[in-house]
Structure 1
Amino acid sequence: MRRIRAAAAGAVTVSMLTAVTACGGGSSTDGGSNDSPKTLTYWASNQGASVEIDKKVLQPELDKFEKDTGIKVELEVVPWSDLLNRILTATTSGQGPDVLNIGNTWSASLQATGALLPWNAENFDKIGGKDRFVDSALGSTGATGQDPAAVPLYSMSYALYYNKQMFADAGIAKPPTTWDEFVADGKKLSKDGKWGTAFEGSNPAENIHHAVVFAKQHGGDFFTADGKPDFTNDGAVEGVKQFVDLMATDKIVAPGNAEYAQNQSVSDFATGKTGMLLWQSASANLVSQGMSEDDFGIAPVPVQSGTPGTGTNVNSMVMGINLSVFKNTDNLDGSTEFVKFLTSDAEQKILNKAYSSIPPVKTAQTDAAFNTQATSVLKDTLAKSAVAAPQVADESQFETAVGTAIKNLFADAAAGKPVTTDSVKAQLEKAQTQMPTK
């Protein structure tokens, strides 16, 4: 997901969700019908540095759609801190948008509600076919073996952004490729009120993105092959501890980051308070906050040793934004037409350029804007060394439970309390007890 990434609070059990499978979106058609819809409502996620920036990016495109089709799109840009809860409320109340953005990590969870339109072969054919989309993006659209609950819109991966001048001033010749190098460089940068890096310690969703990668690098997963929670295996515990230790032990993250929850780490990097940033497709965000593209470099996220690749050297989750349609929409034809518009080659180029993301549509990726040195890092990561979020029905509950456990561990680190293997395991064990029972 993501983008400005913030916590989606509140776990909702699958039993609650699946009890309302007939519920979903729907909006005014101004007297129109499925054959001739007049209005659509669209919930867009906050991708830029502010909601206002997103409106400036999106509204001209929505105006194009209205001019071409006669369908007016009523836009609401929803902050990440509210988006998941807004969607879950809509699935239970039936009062929601026609078309919406979802973080791709939520695909399987929201699919389990039964409220979203399944993208079967017939529906994909209406927007040009499933084979237009890259495999890594399609892998995060719903549970394996089921018709996707969403269509990819923006593809993203994590990368390491580094301040070139701060690196030069600290005598650092090149970006780190391993975590040992990352910590060593972070210590050189952590002086005179500045820090090596920053994290959104109070943001459960952001915590999860890093935790999954650290766990993978230690040979662990948070779910078993049959989808059961397994939060206290050695790899998961070691991975979470290494992540939190960047503040607790290595001290290259300011203690105040334990309270960061919405883009503050990006702002700290943009204003020269930190020398490194681990973030998703951040270039446009950084430029909008005053940096020049010449001020920062982009490199793959570090691994334990060696270079990024498959297996335990994964260095990002497959991140991104998907489009979904509430299946009880009054404007099914118009909603499908809108999805077709947003995933057209022309719109894919415009929107992904605006957000420094990668088009999940293959033919749009050939544009020169997506073949620069910067975007090559993101594309290579997605193609070679990224892993999909767990495609399980309880994924959103997992984000809340484990993400909050890590939030608590960051709070301990900020308060000077020891973060030990035992304390990490205890927090993860508590998180596992909060997961729905089958």
Structure 2
Amino acid sequence: MRRTRIATVGAVILSLVLSAAACGGGSAGGSGSNEQPKTLTYWASNQGANIEVDKKVLQPELDKFEKQTGIKVKLEVVPWADLLKRILTATTSGQGPDILNIGNTWSASLQSTGALLPWDAKNFDAIGGKDRFVESVLGSTGVQGQDPAAVPLYSMAYALYYNKKLFKEAGITKPPATWDEVVEAGKKLTKIGKSGIGAEGSNLSANIHQVFVLGKQHGADFFTADGKADFTSDNAVAAVKQYVDLMATHKIVSPGNAEYAQNQSLSDFSNDKTGMVLWQTAAATFKTQGMSEDEWGVVPAPVPSGRPGPGKQTNSMVAGINMAVFKNTKNHDGALKFVKFMTSDEEQKTLNKAYGSIPPVKTAQQDAAFNTPDLVALRDTLASSAAALPQFPEESQFETVVGTAVKELFAEAAAGQAVTTDSVRAKLEKAQQQMPKK
């Protein structure tokens, strides 16, 4: 999941519970009329290399749904830079789509607004049952112990992708498995005039994903067990500093990456400017940008030492996209039909093949297309060494304030300013002060 920069999101989230009554003029049953509209509005997240790619992938499937049901789906692909802000505005105004994609890490935060349809047993039965989905991905659909706020649509995990041509030119004989090896390989790549590893310093979601994993590797969770913000522990500070130091100290991330917001590091990788990139299911994007499968390789994301696994060997967050329904939709039945269609075996295979992601539906995963070496590596990561981001209502605000702190640190590093333990801690203290008090 990727995420946007939102200056006012903290205040918006703080007001969500108070304004939940404004979230919908209807009910889960629609407007009360027996005649339900024949059009659904769908906000899709930008999964492809650009919005036009998404339209080409999705529109034929939406046309197929209309032919089967008579219900037209009005598609809008919303960039990640705008998606959360658009959703939060919709939850407070009641003027939103019928169905939307959300980053799975936002599930608990959006659930707390009361604006999303709860996926109780009846609603799950309407789309074929809850047990169709892989259990681990259901862990990122809302607060534990409550009915989920969303349904898994695409599953992803992080891996380390490397450019075989640049590795050969730099004399790197094997892909890195540890962070020390990443730094070593990155320095060899800089010696041949290339950037060692890509980063997207202005992409708040990417920042959070990486520092959350590094936090796990340092023994930090960023939240206490009861949901209180815990951003300033020594281990949390060390995790953030390690990530920013790829640019500030080791010089293997180009200073220009501080301004990158979405997919620009993938473009650099595809165009032989960068030797490595940490990304979620990037194969489809590489193909779109003209890179053949034999030009890149993929290995598990790095760990401090040894092999990936649970605890301090965690090397990815549980990444993915969920599909939610606004509770005030005027076509409840049609919305459920659309979710059932999008999570059917046939559509799961079609869509996840197009995006290079992994179906969260068990039976769809059995297709041979999802047994390629890169997807097997990602499936193994999800099964054994990935951890879900905290499912607390304040999670999306955590992404905003800590993601922004990392963005500001990258900007300082790009400008040649020193990034120290004290300066990192100061940024995280500022971030923590913006969180709700418990």
TM-score range, shorter chain: over 0.9
Alpha-carbon distance in structure 1 between the residues aligned to 2:295 and 2:302: 20
Q: What secondary structure is seen at the aligned counterpart in 1 of 2:77?
A: strand
Residues 116, 326 of structure 2: 8 Å contact kept: yes
Letter in 2 for 1:115: A
Once structures 1 and 2 are overlaid, which stretch shifts more, 412-421 or 225-234?
Answer: 412-421
Once structures 1 and 2 are overlaid, which stretch shifts more, 31-40 or 85-94?
Answer: 31-40
Give the drift of 1:10. 3.6
Alpha-carbon distance in structure 2 between the residues aligned to 1:337 and 1:293: 36
Give the drift of 1:235. 1.4
Residues 34, 331 of structure 1: 8 Å contact kept: no
Give the drift of 1:20. 2.4
Give the drift of 1:331. 0.5
Residues 26, 98 of structure 1: 8 Å contact kept: no
Alpha-carbon distance in structure 2 between the residues aligned to 1:215 and 1:259: 23
Cα distance change of structure 1 residues 200 and 26 upon mapping to structure 2, 3 Å threshold: farther
Q: What secondary structure is seen at the aligned counterpart in 2 of 1:196?
A: strand
Give the drift of 1:6. 4.8
Letter in 2 for 1:69: T
Where does residue 72 of structure 2 map in the other structure?
A: 72
Residues 7, 203 of structure 1: 8 Å contact kept: yes
Map 1:226-305; keep pairs closer than 5 Å.
226-305=226-305
Map 1:314-353; keep pairs closer than 5 Å.
314-353=314-353
Where does residue 217 of structure 1 map in the other structure?
A: 217
Q: What secondary structure is seen at the aligned counterpart in 2 of 1:294?
A: helix
Letter in 2 for 1:325: V
Where does residue 11 of structure 1 map in the other structure?
A: 9
Deviating beyond 6 angstroms after TM superposition, the runs of 4 or more aligned structure 1 residues are none
Identity %: 71
Q: Deviations over 1:360-418 (max 9, x none)?
A: 00000000010111101110011110010110101111111000101111111111111
Cα distance change of structure 1 residues 193 and 169 upon mapping to structure 2, 3 Å threshold: closer
Letter in 2 for 1:308: P
RMSD after superposition: 1.6
Residues 205, 403 of structure 2: 8 Å contact kept: yes
Where does residue 433 of structure 2 map in the other structure?
A: 433
Give the drift of 1:67. 0.4
Q: What secondary structure is seen at the aligned counterpart in 2 of 1:22?
A: helix
Q: What secondary structure is seen at the aligned counterpart in 1 of 2:401?
A: helix
Letter in 2 for 1:255: P
Alpha-carbon distance in structure 1 between the residues aligned to 2:45 and 2:6: 12
Map 1:61-140; keep pairs closer than 5 Å.
61-140=61-140
Q: Does 1:408 align with 2:438?
A: no
Letter in 2 for 1:165: K
Residues 4, 84 of structure 2: 8 Å contact kept: no
Q: What secondary structure is seen at the aligned counterpart in 2 of 1:291?
A: coil
Residues 7, 206 of structure 1: 8 Å contact kept: no
Alpha-carbon distance in structure 2 between the residues aligned to 1:21 and 1:77: 26
Letter in 2 for 1:391: Q
Residues 109, 393 of structure 1: 8 Å contact kept: yes
Q: What secondary structure is seen at the aligned counterpart in 1 of 2:42?
A: strand
Give the drift of 1:33. 4.7
Give the drift of 1:60. 0.3
Cα distance change of structure 1 residues 405 and 15 upon mapping to structure 2, 3 Å threshold: closer
Alpha-carbon distance in structure 2 between the residues aligned to 1:87 and 1:213: 26
Letter in 1 for 2:247: M
Alpha-carbon distance in structure 2 between the residues aligned to 1:337 and 1:300: 37
Q: Deviations over 1:257-292 (max 9, x none)?
A: 111112111111010000001011100011101100
Residues 154, 320 of structure 1: 8 Å contact kept: yes
Letter in 1 for 2:193: G
Give the drift of 1:342. 0.2
Where does residue 45 of structure 2 map in the other structure?
A: 45
TM-score, structure 1 normalization: 0.96
Alpha-carbon distance in structure 2 between the residues aligned to 1:92 and 1:24: 5
Alpha-carbon distance in structure 2 between the residues aligned to 1:19 and 1:395: 18
Map 1:300-315; keep pairs closer than 5 Å.
300-315=300-315
Alpha-carbon distance in structure 2 between the residues aligned to 1:108 and 1:77: 23
Give the drift of 1:26. 8.4
Residues 8, 205 of structure 1: 8 Å contact kept: no
Alpha-carbon distance in structure 2 between the residues aligned to 1:124 and 1:395: 25
Map 1:135-154; keep pairs closer than 5 Å.
135-154=135-154
Once structures 1 and 2 are overlaid, which stretch shifts more, 167-176 or 401-410?
Answer: 167-176
Residues 4, 83 of structure 2: 8 Å contact kept: no
Structure 2 residue ranges without an equivalent (≥5): none
Residues 157, 280 of structure 1: 8 Å contact kept: yes
Alpha-carbon distance in structure 1 between the residues aligned to 2:22 and 2:296: 46
Structure 1 residue ranges without an equivalent (≥5): none
Q: Deviations over 1:127-157 (max 9, x none)?
A: 1111111112101000111110000000001
Letter in 2 for 1:18: V
Alpha-carbon distance in structure 2 between the residues aligned to 1:274 and 1:6: 24
Q: What secondary structure is seen at the aligned counterpart in 2 of 1:252?
A: coil
Give the drift of 1:96. 0.5
Cα distance change of structure 1 residues 432 and 34 upon mapping to structure 2, 3 Å threshold: farther
Residues 33, 331 of structure 1: 8 Å contact kept: no
Alpha-carbon distance in structure 1 between the residues aligned to 2:14 and 2:189: 48
Cα distance change of structure 1 residues 192 and 173 upon mapping to structure 2, 3 Å threshold: closer
Cα distance change of structure 1 residues 387 and 359 upon mapping to structure 2, 3 Å threshold: same
Give the drift of 1:12. 3.3
Q: What secondary structure is seen at the aligned counterpart in 2 of 1:275?
A: strand
Alpha-carbon distance in structure 2 between the residues aligned to 1:53 and 1:295: 22
Alpha-carbon distance in structure 1 between the residues aligned to 2:279 and 2:368: 23
Alpha-carbon distance in structure 1 between the residues aligned to 2:357 and 2:257: 26
